[in-house]
Amino acid sequence: MRPLGAQVDDDGRAPHDMNDEAVREGAEVTAGEMAVNHCEKIPLGTQGATEWEVVHLPSSLGDFQARAFRSPVTGSEHLVLSVGPLQERGGLLRVHSECLTGDVFQSLRCDCGPQLQGALDLLKDEGGIVIYMRGHEGRGIGLVEKLRAYALQEAGVDTIDANLRLGHAEDERDYADAIDILCLLGVKSVRLITNNPQKRDALVAGGVEVEALVPLRIAANPHNERYLETKRKRMGHYLE
């Protein structure tokens, strides 16, 4: 799988293959002829994630079925929450990157917590899946390095340049485990809940058809305005 965030267009936006307005209108995006079938080929990057127990998970955020998966390569343990029957095609999917500070402690420095809440709210209304990807803290650099990047941001550096100054890539997340999980669940196409075109690109590259993007509109606050603006301008996120 190609590194995420490694390339940007001349204007600083991440490249993608469809009109921004069309994406925001929910236009169809498919894997096309260049994609491999993620269930017929060797899984990208792993020997195939292992599924463990399936349990009922009642919570204040909703009533879910929970599945746990472990990557035999990274050792990361991922959580899959679902509402309703799993759909082979066209169901809602959120691939959510772990963010301890935002998801658990409701940090105002990012929009991760509200995005997770928004995705779970959509699942309660329509059914679907959230894959909670462990090992994605700080766009893949880990908690300690994320806080080091925060210190640089407090000195005036934006979120991308902070990672770069610490010797990391703009985005070090890998989605091979998510693709394996979808294969194991029998999911072939999805409506992807995201503002991030690179997540769409990663799934399509792994052979998962993305029928449409479902953006999440999260209001900015004084603590994350610059962060969100950087994601919009330099990473191509759909945050208009």
Q: Among the options 103, 158, 171, 174, which is catalytic?
A: 171
Question: Which band of pLDDT confidence, cut at 50, 70 and 90, is reported for residue 178?
Answer: very high
Q: What residues contact 182, with CB distance under 8 A and at least 6 apart? A: 38, 93, 131, 188, 190, 203, 208
173 among known catalytic residues: yes
Say whether pLDDT at 30 is over 70.
no
Class of 24-136+173-235 in CATH:
alpha beta
pTM of the predicted model, to two decimals?
Answer: 0.80
What are the start-end ranges of the H helices in 127-224?
137-140, 143-154, 159-165, 176-185, 197-205
184-227: per-residue pLDDT in tens?
899 999 999 999 999 999 999 999 999 999 999 889 999 999 98
Domain ranges of the chain: 24-136+173-235
Say whether pLDDT at 10 is over 70.
no
| Interatomic CA distance for residues 145 and 228, integer angstroms | 20
Q: Among the options 94, 173, 200, 234, which is catalytic?
A: 173
Using the Cα atoms of residue 106, residue 108, residue 114 and residue 116 in order, give the sign of their dihedral.
negative
Question: Which band of pLDDT confidence, cut at 50, 70 and 90, is reported for residue 8?
Answer: very low
148 among known catalytic residues: no
Question: Which band of pLDDT confidence, cut at 50, 70 and 90, is reported for residue 59?
Answer: very high
